[in-house]
Amino acid sequence: MPQDMTCLPPPELPQDLQISVLGPAKIPSDLRCGRFIPDDARIYVYVDPSQVPGGGPNPTLEMAGPRERIYFDPTKTRCAIVTCGGLCPGINDVIRAIVLEAHHNYKVSSVLGIRYGLEGFIEDYGHTPLELTPQTVANIHEFGGTILGSSRGPQSVERIVDFLERRNISCLFVIGGDGTMRAASRIVEEVNARKVKIAVIGIPKTIDNDINFVSQTFGFDTAVGKATGAIRCAHVEALGAPFGIGLVKVMGRESGFIAAQSALALRDVDFVLVPEDPFEIHGERGFLAALTRRLRRRGHAVVVVAEGAGQKHLQATGEKDPSGNVRLGDIAGLLMAEIAAHMKNEGIDHTLKYIDPSYMVRSVPANSNDCIYCGFLGQNAVHAAMAGKTAMVVSKWNGYYVHMPLTLVTQGRKKIDVCSNYWRSVLESTGQHVYFGG
C-alpha cells in the first residue's frame, strides 16, 4: 500500500447541537414503563479539546427517550413513514417498531405508509398509501426489503408538503441514507416556511455504514455476516486448487467498512482494497506484484474489494443514477482481466473464482443484533416526534441513543481513517502490508 497515506482530519462539529422543537410540550405523557428522559440530559460527543472548533466547551448530544410531557395529542395525531434509496436489512424492523410504539403505547389515531419512496407523495405516480396497523406489520420483520417499497431520486418538496398538509400528518418518519436525509432537511425548510406543525424525524439507513457521525447504521451487522459467508466460500475455493485465488466484491461506494469489517470477522483475507486507501495495479509496489508474492509464498490468496475501490484505474462513465451518485466502473472485472494477463506472463497456472454477494447481502432479513437495534431506533423516533422534536435523526453514540440535528449527518460521508487503529488492525489481520513491501 502507498506509504504517503493521508490521515483524515478530525470531523468538524458545529457549536450548536440543539434539537429544534415545534413548541412547548404541555400534554402529560400516559407512558408508564421505565423513566422519562429530561431534555437537559446530554452526553459528550468528543472529550479531546483539540477537536472542538474554536476551542470552546465540549459538544454534547441530547439523549433520546420518552419525555414526561409531549407536544401532540395522540388522539388527533396522524403519522407517516417513508423508506427511500437502496434496500438494507432491518428496514421492516424499523417500520414495525414505529407502528407498534405509536399504536400500543401512544395510541395515535393513524400511521400511514408511503409507497415507493418519495414518489408516494406525488399523486401522479398512483402509489396508494398503506394504512399500517399492528396487524399489517405483525410478521414483516421476518422478511428482507421494505413492505413499503422504495425509489431513488428527488421529488417536488412543495408537493410533498402539500400531501402532508392534505392528509393532516403530524409526524413524518424518513428512513434512508445521506441523500434521503438531505431531502428530509428540505422538507423541514418547506414546513417551516409554511409555519405548519409537522415533526420530521430521520432514521439513518445505509448498508455502507457511511453516514456522518453515526457510529453504526442498522443492517451493517447483518451485511457483514452475509459477506463473511461469501468470503468463506472464496477461501475454500482458493484452497481447492494450486495457486487458487478467491475474489469477492462487496458494497462500498466511498467507504470500505463492509470489506474491512468482514476481513476482521473471518481473518482468512489476504488483501482488502477500499476506496479510502488508493493502490497501484502495476509496478513493484503494485497489487499484481503483491498478489504474486503471496501466491508463491502460500499457494493461494483471498481478495476482498469494495465496489468503489481503485476507480482511478477505470474510465469515468460520466453517468449518474437517479440519486445523483456517479455510476462506478467495474473494479472486479478490471482486476480479473489484469490478474489473468499478469499470471500468464509470470508463468503461474492460477485458478480464480469470483463471488459478488451484493444483492444477497442487502436483501436478507436482519440478524438478532440488528433487530434489537432497529427496535430501539423506531421506539425512540416515536418518542422524539411525540415530544415535538423535529429536523433531527435518532442514532447511537458511545452506547447511548441520542438525537442529532439533520445538519450534522448531512455534512459529509463517514470514511475509514487509514491512519487509525482500526485500519491498522485490518492490515495486521491480512498481512497485506508485507506483500505490498510496506
Point out the residues that are catalytic.
208
Cα–Cα distances in angstroms (integers) from residue 99 to residues 133, 143, 177, 201, 216, in the given order: 7, 17, 21, 14, 23
| Cα–Cα distance for residue pair 202/180, rounded to 1 Å | 9
Instruction: Say if strands 78-83 and 171-176 run parallel, antiparallel, or are unpaired.
Output: parallel
Residue 389, C-beta contacts closer than 8 angstroms, at least 6 positions apart: 19, 20, 21, 22, 199, 201, 403
Residue whose C-alpha cell is 468528543: 46
What angle, rounded to 10 degrees, do the helices at 368-386 and 91-100 form? 40
Residue 192, C-beta contacts closer than 8 angstroms, at least 6 positions apart: none
Instruction: Say if strands 199-204 and 392-397 run parallel, antiparallel, or are unpaired.
Output: parallel
Cα 169 from chain centre: 27
CB 190, CB 162: distance < 8 Å:
no
**Residue 397's beta-bridge partner residues?**
400
3-state secondary structure of 346: helix
